[in-house]
Amino acid sequence: MFIIGRKTKEELNEIMSYYKTDRLWSWSKFNTYHTSPYEYYLKYLKHVPEDRDDCIYVVTGGMAHEIMEDLYLGHIKYEEMDEKFEDAWITAEVADLKFDRNDEKKNKSVKQKYYDCLKHFFNHHKMFEQHMEIERFVTAKIGDNVFQGYIDAIYRDKDGNFHILDWKTSSIYKGKKAENECGQLIVYAIALNQIGIPMDKIRISWDFLKYVSIDCQQANGKWTTREIERNQIGVKLQTSVKMWLKKCGYEDKQLEYLDLLMQTNDVKCLPEDVQEKYKVNDCIVTVPITNDLLNKWTTDIIETISEIEKKEERYENLKDRNSMEAEKEFWDSDDQVEKQSYYFSTLCGYSPNVHLPYKKYLDKLNAKKEQQDNIFAGVGEDVISNVQGKLLDEDDMSWLNDL
pLDDT tens string 254-304:
999 999 999 999 999 999 999 999 999 999 999 999 999 999 999 999 999
| Residues β-bridged to residue 156 | 162
Asked if the model's pLDDT at residue 388 lies above 50, the reply is no
Strand 278-287 relative to strand 223-229, pairing? unpaired
Has residue 256 been placed in a domain?
Answer: yes
Has residue 227 been placed in a domain?
Answer: yes
Q: What are phi and psi of 222, to 5 degrees?
A: -75, 160
Has residue 147 been placed in a domain?
Answer: no
Has residue 3 been placed in a domain?
Answer: no
Q: Judge whether 59 and 18 are in contact, CB under 8 Å.
A: no
Domain span at 224? 211-282
Asked if the model's pLDDT at residue 403 lies above 90, the reply is no
- Please count the helices (runs of H) and the strands (runs of E) in the chain: 18, 7
Q: What is the mean pLDDT of residues 76-99?
A: 87
Has residue 217 been placed in a domain?
Answer: yes
Q: What is the three-class DSSP state of 283?
A: strand
Q: Judge whether 121 and 209 are in contact, CB under 8 Å.
A: yes
pLDDT at 249: 96
Residues 3-42: tens digit of each pLDDT: 556 789 999 999 999 999 999 999 999 999 999 999 999 9
Lowest mean pLDDT among 4-8, 224-228, 250-254, 349-353: 4-8
Q: What is the mean pLDDT of residues 341-356?
A: 91
Q: Is the pTM of this model over 0.95?
A: no
Asked if the model's pLDDT at residue 400 lies above 90, the reply is no
Most confident of 4-18, 41-55, 106-120, 189-203: 189-203
Residues 123-147: tens digit of each pLDDT: 999 999 999 999 999 999 999 999 9
Has residue 278 been placed in a domain?
Answer: yes
Q: List, in order, residues 6 or more apart from 40 with CB less than 8 Å away.
A: 29, 32, 33, 308, 330
Residues 36-65: tens digit of each pLDDT: 999 999 999 999 999 987 777 777 888 999
At 389, is the pLDDT very low, low, confident or very high (cuts 50, 70, 90)?
very low
At 395, is the pLDDT very low, low, confident or very high (cuts 50, 70, 90)?
very low
Has residue 259 been placed in a domain?
Answer: yes
Q: How many domains does the chain have?
A: 1
Asked if the model's pLDDT at residue 380 lies above 90, the reply is no
Has residue 275 been placed in a domain?
Answer: yes
Asked if the model's pLDDT at residue 384 lies above 50, the reply is no
Lowest mean pLDDT among 280-284, 297-301, 329-333, 361-365: 361-365
